[in-house]
């Protein structure tokens, strides 16, 4: 390769030369003309594609990054545009032709013994690690970091290029920057009830003011002593004429330390109370140095080289011990990709194995295809005042196919609120019942189970099927009666919560389990329910209204088949959505009044149950009092939240459902399943606190009747454009899937309730899930690999098995492994 490097170099050089003029123009007069630049994305893309054909791996990765930097360029704000151009320049300036990494080694795979030793060492508890005592270990433990491996995977939040520290004078409002300053003075100030910690600092070029609104006084006083030299990192803002930083990260520089001695690139880790970044850096650095090379690669070499994924040990090094070269960011990105790929590959492999294992269990072949005009299904359909939508029919025929097959069904139905999943699941239940089995419906909460029961019971009554509710809080005697019925087969359809999987519940002949709102149920519970059926595994139907982006659902739930009901029953009125500010509060109350006067009902939702000293948010309890006393004295208001007992909740819900209360003040407990068609208005306070997917769920409580409905999102104090933009999406679409995609894009999967709670195992690197392309690749590779090597045989297979066992077994409930 060395010989070619002159030629290789020209690839990047050529791109650099071609971009020199556009970049020069763009950055002229401090980027004054940046907005007039158009078509840079196309130019970069053409250049990159042209050069990619004869690029080496390292160059290719630089080229790919470059292309990625510009693919959404035109849609960015000027600040981001500037940043992208700067980053591109850094990338091109750097020596992109550094020594080429050795081709993926034809190293012999580890022997079993070596692998065992390494895996064990990586599981070593932190307190046994050099330089970490029990006290420090405890602090890390509080963050979920228990082992050496946990530490390796605890990646820096960002990097600071100390060679690029700014001068105060050069700070531009809106940018994120690092400056080295000396503290002039600092103290706590009070503005009315509000306390602020303020600091004034300077360097040779100017004065910077710094403010904190949340802080621990003793800590701040200690760190911001006058005369201290600090590196501040944060967003630059302006108050009047004064340049400021609000809540920057701070790092102390020792007396002896000069910039030169600490120059270069340093990783910055998530704060650990009372532990300085410098110390953290040292700890992580030494762990990586001592243990990084012991990382065991799980992805087979052939796949790694095809996907351009490097070794894990290299990745850990690049991330925790970045080299001071212009390419460090690029290298860190590649390293993250390596680790992400590894996670995804193993996740998908585990899911593929679970899917295989389920298919191997004996399932029940129901006799569900029968078109019997006097059969249960036909009778139910006849009793419905509507016919099923095309989407419902499609889902149903997919379910039927599964149920008739002698394999256990494991199917997820995704459908927006109100799309009619309940009826579909009931027809499935009838198929099971008609074949002589029992069906069970599990709901996440007592309220929902109860509500489900009320609906279901009505349908079932008309066709002569017995349904029963098994409550958690039943009197012992009552419970015994129900249990007996279940055990003797006197009841066909049983509805309940997780109480259904308690030890004392025995089924006569359980054939189908319907799980409502699966995101509240972990994988483990599903397994437990499966154990409830003797002999053949029951079929499993999981319903969720949490819209999970299609790509994510298809790939992440590798062991489930997915049906999507993407159509609402006809005649549904879309819910009008408005974003309001605090000043609009009166008009929000007026809208509620109007609806109430017309005989409608209304929800008002708060993020908190009770007033909290820590969080300055409105809470349901005190707002209910206020609303009742001062705003709507002539209407009856109910209060619902998670701290009520089941009985209390039920009576509050029933009062609202039956119209005895007109307004329901609530926390998010009303999120799923609640069905009151007469409720036409919803007000959500502190809407900025909720994710789009969650807002969508909440909004789904209105618009369930024939009258037009309104959803008002009251966003309290927000100076952030992003918040507004995010909420605006709510006004533009009622498509849950689209909102979910937006949520995923804006907030990432870590915040994505649908995914986190869906029983999907925690990934160490949740960012991996945002890379759809990588996820797809990993899925293809994993499923393909298992196809070729179903028993995970051979040295490579055995190694994979070991890793699965050590890192994933508990997370994936893989009974088979090992």
* Mode of pairing for the β-strands spanning 601-605 and 679-685: parallel
- Within 8 A by CB and 6+ apart from 240, the residues are none
- The answer to whether residue 392 forms part of the interface with ligand ADP (CB under 6 A) is yes
Bridge partners of 714? Answer: 580, 685
- CB-nearer residue toward ligand ADP: 376 or 395: 395
- CB-nearer residue toward ligand ADP: 375 or 569: 569
Contact range with ligand ADP by CB under 6 A, out of 73-81, 420-428, 574-582, 689-697: 420-428
Structure tokens at 525: 């519970």
Contact range with ligand ADP by CB under 6 A, out of 59-67, 290-298, 387-395, 642-650: 387-395
- Within 8 A by CB and 6+ apart from 670, the residues are 603, 605, 640, 664, 698, 701
* Cβ-based burial of 677 (10 A; exposed 0-12, middle 13-18, buried ≥19): middle
Contact range with ligand ADP by CB under 6 A, out of 284-292, 317-325, 418-426, 556-564: 418-426
Residue 578 beta carbon to ligand ADP: minimum distance, rounded to whole angstroms = 23
Q: Which position among 388, 429, 560, 768 is part of the footprint of ligand ADP (CB under 6 A)?
A: 388
Q: Which position among 50, 375, 418, 748 is part of the footprint of ligand ADP (CB under 6 A)?
A: 418
Q: Which does 419 bind (CB under 5 to 8 A by kind): Mg ion, ligand ADP, none?
A: ligand ADP
Bridge partners of 266? Answer: 160
Question: For 510, phi and psi rounded to 5 degrees?
Answer: -80, 125
**Cβ–Cβ under 8 Å, residues 687 and 718:** no
- The answer to whether residue 386 forms part of the interface with ligand ADP (CB under 6 A) is yes
- CB-nearer residue toward ligand ADP: 452 or 764: 452
- CB-nearer residue toward Mg ion: 422 or 438: 422
Residues in the chain, how many? 818
Site string for ligand ADP, 522-551 (x = CB under 6 A): -----------------------x------
Q: How many CB atoms are closer than 10 A to CB 221?
A: 14
Contact range with ligand ADP by CB under 6 A, out of 14-22, 86-94, 388-396, 494-502: 388-396
Across the beta sheet with 438-442, what order do the strands follow? 467-470, 493-496, 438-442, 510-516, 539-544, 410-415, 561-565
Q: Which DSSP letter does residue 816 get?
A: T
- The answer to whether residue 415 forms part of the interface with ligand ADP (CB under 6 A) is yes
Our CA dihedral for 191, 195, 199, 200, rounded to 10 degrees, sits at: 0
- CB-nearer residue toward ligand ADP: 117 or 675: 675
Local structure of 758: helix, strand or coil: coil
Residues 670-729 that bind ligand ADP (CB under 6 A): 675
Q: How many CB atoms are closer than 10 A to CB 571?
A: 7
Please give the angle made by the CA atoms of 256, 262 and 263, to the nearest 5 degrees.
Answer: 135
Give the residue nearest to Mg ion (CB): 422
- Within 8 A by CB and 6+ apart from 483, the residues are 470, 504, 505, 506
Residues 278-337 that bind ligand ADP (CB under 6 A): none
Residue 570 beta carbon to ligand ADP: minimum distance, rounded to whole angstroms = 7
Question: For 434, phi and psi rounded to 5 degrees?
Answer: -65, -30
Site string for Mg ion, 368-407 (x = CB under 5 A): ----------------------------------------
Q: Which position among 422, 518, 555, 661 is part of the footprint of ligand ADP (CB under 6 A)?
A: 422
Site size toward ligand ADP (CB under 6 A) is 15
- The answer to whether residue 451 forms part of the interface with Mg ion (CB under 5 A) is no
Residue 740 beta carbon to Mg ion: minimum distance, rounded to whole angstroms = 18
713, containing H or E segment: strand 710-714
Q: Which position among 322, 408, 420, 691 is part of the footprint of ligand ADP (CB under 6 A)?
A: 420
Bridge partners of 510? Answer: 438
Q: Which does 186 bind (CB under 5 to 8 A by kind): ligand ADP, Mg ion, none?
A: none
- CB-nearer residue toward Mg ion: 298 or 422: 422
Cα 166–chain centre separation? 35
- CB-nearer residue toward Mg ion: 404 or 422: 422
Cα 448–chain centre separation? 24
Long-range contacts made by residues 148-151, C-beta under 8 angstroms, separation at least 24?
A: 148/121, 148/122, 148/123, 148/124, 148/287, 148/291, 149/122, 149/123, 149/807, 150/126, 151/126, 151/283, 151/284, 151/287
- The answer to whether residue 443 forms part of the interface with Mg ion (CB under 5 A) is no
- CB-nearer residue toward ligand ADP: 279 or 757: 757
Rounded Cα gap, residues 411 and 565, in angstroms: 13
* Cβ-based burial of 157 (10 A; exposed 0-12, middle 13-18, buried ≥19): exposed
Residue 425 beta carbon to Mg ion: minimum distance, rounded to whole angstroms = 8
- CB-nearer residue toward ligand ADP: 154 or 388: 388
- CB-nearer residue toward ligand ADP: 421 or 764: 421
Site string for ligand ADP, 42-81 (x = CB under 6 A): ----------------------------------------
Of 301, 314, 553, nearest in space to 415 by CA: 553
**Cβ–Cβ under 8 Å, residues 26 and 41:** no
Contact range with ligand ADP by CB under 6 A, out of 116-124, 385-393, 532-540, 659-667: 385-393
Residue 565 beta carbon to ligand ADP: minimum distance, rounded to whole angstroms = 7
**Cβ–Cβ under 8 Å, residues 431 and 368:** yes
- CB-nearer residue toward ligand ADP: 300 or 420: 420
- CB-nearer residue toward Mg ion: 304 or 520: 520
Of 457, 455, 397, 461, nearest in space to 431 by CA: 397
Contact range with ligand ADP by CB under 6 A, out of 65-73, 128-136, 384-392, 645-653: 384-392
Of 681, 702, 680, 700, nearest in space to 692 by CA: 700
Q: Which DSSP letter does residue 573 get?
A: P
Structure tokens at 544: 């969720």
Q: Which does 415 bind (CB under 5 to 8 A by kind): Mg ion, ligand ADP, none?
A: ligand ADP
Q: Which does 569 bind (CB under 5 to 8 A by kind): ligand ADP, Mg ion, none?
A: ligand ADP
**Cβ–Cβ under 8 Å, residues 531 and 766:** no
Residue 385 beta carbon to ligand ADP: minimum distance, rounded to whole angstroms = 8
Residues 656-675 that bind ligand ADP (CB under 6 A): 675
Residue 78 beta carbon to ligand ADP: minimum distance, rounded to whole angstroms = 44
- CB-nearer residue toward ligand ADP: 311 or 416: 416
Give the residue nearest to ligand ADP (CB): 420
Site string for Mg ion, 403-422 (x = CB under 5 A): -------------------x
Q: Which position among 423, 431, 494, 596 is part of the footprint of ligand ADP (CB under 6 A)?
A: 423
Q: Which does 388 bind (CB under 5 to 8 A by kind): ligand ADP, Mg ion, none?
A: ligand ADP
Maximal CA-CA distance, the chain: 90
- CB-nearer residue toward ligand ADP: 421 or 526: 421
Q: Which residues bind Mg ion (CB under 5 A)?
A: 422
Q: Which residues bind ligand ADP (CB under 6 A)?
A: 386, 388-389, 392, 415, 417-423, 545, 569, 675
């Amino acid at each position: 390769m060395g010989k070619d490097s002159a030629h290789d170099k020209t690839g990047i050089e050529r791109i650099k030369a071609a971009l020199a003029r556009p970049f020069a123009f763009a950055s002229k007069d401090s980027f004054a003309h940046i907005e007039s630049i158009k078509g840079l994305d196309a130019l970069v893309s053409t250049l990159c594609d042209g050069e990619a054909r004869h690029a080496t791996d390292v160059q290719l990765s630089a080229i790919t990054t470059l292309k990625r930097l510009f693919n959404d360029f035109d849609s960015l704000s000027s600040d981001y545009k500037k940043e992208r151009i700067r980053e591109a320049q850094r990338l091109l300036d750097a020596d992109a032709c550094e020594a080429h990494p050795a081709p993926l080694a034809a190293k012999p795979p580890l022997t079993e013994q070596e692998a065992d030793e390494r895996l064990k060492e990586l599981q070593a508890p932190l307190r046994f690690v050099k330089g970490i005592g029990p006290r420090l270990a405890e602090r890390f433990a509080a963050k979920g970091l228990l082992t050496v491996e946990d530490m390796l995977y605890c990646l820096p939040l960002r990097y600071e290029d100390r060679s690029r520290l700014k001068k105060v004078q050069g700070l531009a409002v809106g940018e994120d920057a690092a400056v080295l300053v000396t503290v002039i003075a600092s103290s706590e100030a009070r503005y009315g009830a509000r306390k602020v910690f303020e600091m004034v600092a300077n360097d040779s070029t100017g004065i910077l003011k710094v403010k904190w609104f949340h802080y621990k006084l003793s800590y701040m006083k200690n760190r911001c002593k006058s005369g201290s030299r600090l590196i501040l990192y944060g967003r630059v803002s302006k108050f009047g004429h004064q340049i400021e930083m609000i809540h920057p990260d701070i790092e102390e520089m020792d007396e002896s330390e000069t910039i030169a001695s600490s120059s270069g690139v340093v990783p910055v880790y998530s704060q650990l109370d009372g532990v300085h970044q410098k110390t953290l850096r040292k700890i992580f650095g030494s762990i990586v140095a001592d243990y990084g090379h012991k990382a065991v690669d799980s992805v087979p070499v052939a796949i790694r080289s095809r996907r351009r994924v490097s070794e894990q040990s290299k990745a850990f090094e690049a991330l925790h011990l970045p080299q001071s070269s212009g390419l460090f960011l690029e290298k860190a990105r590649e390293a993250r990709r390596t680790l992400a790929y590894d996670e995804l590959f193993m996740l998908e492999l585990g899911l593929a194995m679970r899917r295989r294992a389920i298919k191997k269990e004996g399932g029940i072949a129901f006799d569900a295809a029968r078109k019997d005009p006097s059969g249960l299904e036909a009778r139910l359909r006849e009793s419905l005042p509507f016919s099923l939508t095309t989407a419902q029919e499609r889902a149903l025929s997919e379910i039927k196919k599964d149920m008739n097959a002698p394999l256990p069904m494991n199917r997820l139905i995704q459908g927006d609120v109100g799309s009619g999943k309940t009826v579909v699941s009931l027809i499935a239940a009838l198929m099971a019942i008609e074949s002589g089995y029992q069906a069970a419906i599990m709901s996440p909460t007592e309220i929902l189970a109860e509500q489900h029961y009320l609906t279901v019971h009505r349908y079932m009554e008309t066709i002569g099927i017995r349904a029963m509710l098994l409550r958690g809080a039943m009197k012992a005697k009552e419970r015994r009666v129900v249990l007996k019925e279940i055990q003797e087969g006197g009841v066909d359809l049983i509805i309940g919560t997780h109480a259904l999987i308690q030890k004392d519940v025995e089924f006569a002949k359980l054939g189908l389990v319907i799980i409502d709102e699966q995101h509240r149920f972990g994988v483990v519970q599903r397994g437990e329910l499966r154990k409830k059926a003797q002999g053949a595994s029951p079929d499993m139907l999981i319903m969720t209204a949490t819209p999970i982006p299609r790509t994510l659902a298809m790939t992440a739930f590798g062991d489930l088949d997915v049906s999507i009901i993407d159509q609402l029953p006809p005649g549904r009125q879309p819910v009008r959505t408005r974003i309001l500010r605090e000043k609009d509060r009166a008009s929000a109350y007026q809208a509620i009044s109007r609806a109430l006067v017309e005989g409608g009902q209304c929800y008002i939702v708060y993020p908190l149950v009770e007033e909290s000293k820590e969080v300055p948010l409105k809470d349901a309890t005190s707002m209910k009092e206020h609303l009742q006393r001062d705003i709507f004295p002539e209407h009856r208001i109910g209060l619902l939240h998670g701290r009520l007992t089941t009985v209390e909740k039920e009576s509050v819900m029933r009062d609202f459902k039956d119209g005895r209360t007109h307004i329901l003040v609530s926390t998010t407990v009303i999120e799923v399943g609640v069905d009151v068609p007469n409720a036409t208005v919803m007000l959500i306070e502190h809407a900025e606190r909720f994710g789009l997917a969650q807002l969508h769920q909440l909004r789904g409580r209105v618009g369930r009747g024939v009258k037009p409905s309104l959803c008002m999102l009251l966003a309290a104090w927000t100076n952030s454009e992003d918040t507004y933009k995010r909420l605006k999406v709510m006004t533009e679409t009622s498509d849950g899937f689209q909102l979910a995609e937006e949520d995923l894009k804006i907030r990432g999967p870590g915040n994505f309730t649908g995914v986190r709670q869906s029983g999907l195992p925690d990934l160490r690197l949740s960012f991996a899930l945002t890379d759809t392309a990588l996820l797809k690749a990993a899925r293809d590779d994993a499923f393909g690999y298992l196809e070729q090597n179903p028993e995970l045989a051979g040295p490579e297979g055995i190694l994979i098995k070991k890793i699965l066992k050590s890192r994933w077994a508990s997370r994936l409930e893989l009974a088979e492994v090992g």
